[in-house]
Amino acid sequence: MDRYLVVGAGFSGAVLARELAEQLPCTVDIIDERNHIGGNCHTFRDDQSGVMIHAYGPHIFNTNDEKVWDYVRRHGSFRLYVNRVKAVIDRGVFSMPINLHTINQFFGLKLNPNQASEYLAGLGDASIAEPANFEEQALKLMGRELYEAFFKGYTTKQWGCDPRELSASILKRLPIRFNYDDNYYEKKFCGIPEEGYGDVIGSILMHPAIHVRLGERMHPGAIPHDYRHVFWTGPIDAYFDYSEGRLGYRTMTFERIDAMGDFQGNPVINYPGIEVPFTRIHEHKHFAPWERHERTVAFREYSKETAGNDIPYYPKRFSSDLKILERYRERAESLERVSFLGRLGTYRYMDMEAVIRDALNHASSSVELLLNGRRPPLFPENAAV
Ligand code: UDP
């Protein structure tokens, strides 16, 4: 019977391991250097307050993909959850992403949807035909005043650079709405697992052919030869010992606040101003409105450059990073029994749902090839630089 090794027990590794275990006569070892499964989606029940904490920052599942939504709900009970975010600036508290309420409140107007759309078109910089970066995208869509109030400072803090150095696609993650819908996400299905992500990922890994080993760091050079294939979901630059240089990531640090009752009255409040050192505060009991807790726990979130053993969060994907990535991808070509997948393995800015879809697709093409005596694809199909 073939043995496979999956490195990394986040969504990517867990979904892939499960598909292999179900579709092939095999055993799958899945290892993770941390002492928990779930990667950055890890949640735990806090001893002091009883609140379910999202250890690496808020994770709200959102997708349009029914297949992915059904998949996660087969492995855990999801409660529908709408994320409503506020932003505090010197002029007051506003709704994010920008919607009709934000526009009317910000400009002291009473516009209807059509009027607001025309009004914003008038504010936008019409001279920008093809926005070349984040700032141009914002100036074209909303004009300088809204951009500077809500995006410029936040983005500078979040990414540690001038927004002109960032891709316009980062801003495109957020909608601008000309109605009062204040759901942060545009997706059809939004939810949070009732018992946390560990419950969901634990269920995915619950299969007699899967063996989970935690707190184990695997050096690529030390991978035993009897594995038919290795699926690496850790950072691709770590696989090659950073020999071509480090890929840039932003990492987050969290400052814990313990209080009684309700600290801020909302799950997430953003602080876009550059004068505030953190980007946002999240209060975790509000991610589970179906629970009741007397105590509360919130975190101020700070963003910084990843160094040393910091946990990588957001891939920066600057052009210098993409050049390094190209070199790692070229080196990967010569590997015979390794594939790379997931946010870290492919160095892409991916939401949980995209990670799961990729892992399912990668597993199905891998299984077909393995059954025909061939090697699985080096990267998921859509992971080109
Ligand atoms: N952003 C901002 N102000 C906000 C919220 C978001 O400038 O109040 C920018 C920021 O650059 C961020 C991007 O919009 O990286 C995308 O936001 P999103 O919430 O999608 O980021 P994520 O969920 O990945 O943290």
- Is the model's pLDDT at 1 over the cut of 70? yes
Does residue 29 share a domain with residue 139? no
Give me the sign of the Cα torsion angle 213, 214, 217, 220.
positive
pLDDT on residue 385: 67
**Could you tell me if residue 65 is inside a domain?**
no
Residue 107 lies in a domain: yes
Mean pLDDT of the chain: 97
Is 240 inside a domain boundary? yes
What residue's CA is closest to ligand 1, atom 20?
Answer: 173
CB-ligand 1 contact for 96 (6 Å cutoff): yes
Last residue of a domain, one of 172, 196, 218: 172
Q: Are residues 167 and 212 in the same domain?
A: no
Compute the average pLDDT of residues 116-128: 97
Domain extent at residue 9: 2-37+205-245+317-371
Residues 106 and 223 in one domain: no
Of the chain, the percentage scoring pLDDT greater than 90 comes to 98
* Structural domain total, the chain: 2
What 3-state class would DSSP assign to 94? strand
Helix, strand, coil % (nearest 5) of the chain? 35, 20, 45
271 lines ligand 1 (CB under 6 A): no
**Average pLDDT value for residue range 299-317:** 95
Catalytic position from the list 177, 317, 343, 357 = 177
130 and 18 together in one domain: no
- Clarify whether residues 217 and 135 are in a common domain: no
Classify residue 290 as left (phi > 0), alpha (psi -120 to 50) or beta: alpha
pLDDT attached to residue 384: 73
- Domain termination site, one of 155, 172, 189: 172
Does residue 229 form part of some domain?
A: yes
Q: Is residue 50 a part of any domain in this protein?
A: no
- Where would I find the H helices in the chain? 11-23, 66-74, 100-107, 113-123, 134-147, 153-159, 168-171, 197-205, 236-239, 319-332, 342-346, 352-371
Average pLDDT over residues 259-268: 98
Q: What is the pTM of this model?
A: 0.96
Residue 8 Cα to chain centre, angstroms = 16
Q: Do 25 and 146 belong together in one domain?
A: no
Residue 231 pairs with which residues in a beta bridge? 6, 339
Same domain as 338, residue 241: yes
Domain final residue, candidates 172, 194, 221: 172
Residue 232 falls inside a structural domain: yes
- pLDDT tops 90 at residue 382: no
Residue 146 within any structural domain of the chain: yes
Same domain as 325, residue 233: yes
Distance 278 CA to ligand 1 centre (A): 13
- Compute the distance from residue 238 Cα to the ligand 1 centre, in Å: 27
Residue 58 lies inside a defined structural domain of this protein: no
349 catalytically annotated: yes
Task: Check whether 301 has a pLDDT greater than 70.
Answer: yes
Please check whether residues 165 and 105 belong to one and the same domain.
yes
Q: In this structure, are 220 and 349 located in the same domain?
A: yes
For residue 208, give the DSSP letter: T
203 pLDDT above the threshold of 70: yes
Q: How far is the CA of 43 from the centre of ligand 1 (A)?
A: 22
Regarding whether 326 and 234 lie in a shared domain, the answer is yes
Over residues 214-246, the pLDDT tens digits come to 999 999 999 999 999 999 999 999 999 999 999
- pLDDT number for residue 383: 84
Q: Is there a single domain that holds both residue 212 and residue 156?
A: no
Q: What tokens does 238 get?
A: 């770590």
**Model pLDDT for residues 19-60, shown as the tens digit of each residue:** 999 999 999 999 999 999 999 999 999 999 999 999 999 999
